[in-house]
Chains A and B, each alone.
Chain A
């Protein structure tokens, strides 16, 4: 068993400053994950050269892969750092911020673009009010199973990080948001504005920007069938195009 674990961490002090790599060598402790090692660095922020430095900054919250906060590149692969177990990773372990979003500091990025996409696709049920209007619709178990899977999306960004089309130069909505349109277009009342969501998907940055690389579905930590969602929304968009033609 090794005595130490080496981390090579890509750091950046501010939004606009350049990035640099810093190495940390910390004692090996069984059952560690990347987060527990970052915590060890916090408690003793000394780099491999023996210099006392500012602790590494990262974003995290739930630490059980349901909040999506602690997503980063671990040995080049996008993943939540809480469920990245040290024993299973190649050493030295390389940590980098996600590349598709502006870096805030060190491993923290700003994923506002993903939340803005949820606004664009109107990912909500427009309710008449929050007073007592009785139960919702009855739904089949198979409907629930499909919807639940889609609803597990935690806006972590793994899908768009892995996507060759999603970049800071364009405004592609990305797989997560497209999959949410599928979720809401199948909901018994949210589907009342299904056509508006399809209009959004037909605009620039919409579904046509998908290059069908299928990296998204591979990268999704929750195994959400993203390519299935994209295909389904493609069908819905085509259907609407045909309807538009016949209406015209």
Chain B
């Protein structure tokens, strides 16, 4: 595993608090029960969960920061670190595993020098493993952004990665 440079968090002046108000208040009614979906909306907007956004959320929802931090670190789709432009979700579910998903993961690791949860230094790719995307008949499956790549032979991996800027 090569060293991955720690990435800078979004500076406070780049957080759009008015937009956060809209998400928390208007879309999700300031309701604590909607915490997970609010966090998902924030992550969609910033590509990760900036600490400042979480602090703001804590005061808006009147929830201790520790509770929000607990939820953000419990669920695997949340990232507290900035992620790359393209998210590679490699399925490591049983059916894909049996059809050779490990080889694909190794190939990606070899090509991009990143392991699960890591981002390339140029912020181009983040690799995340998922346990079952639900396309089990077409394994092995790799999702890059919204594109689903199925039945991938190991020797086509580099070509697929190259097509993403």
A is bound by B: no
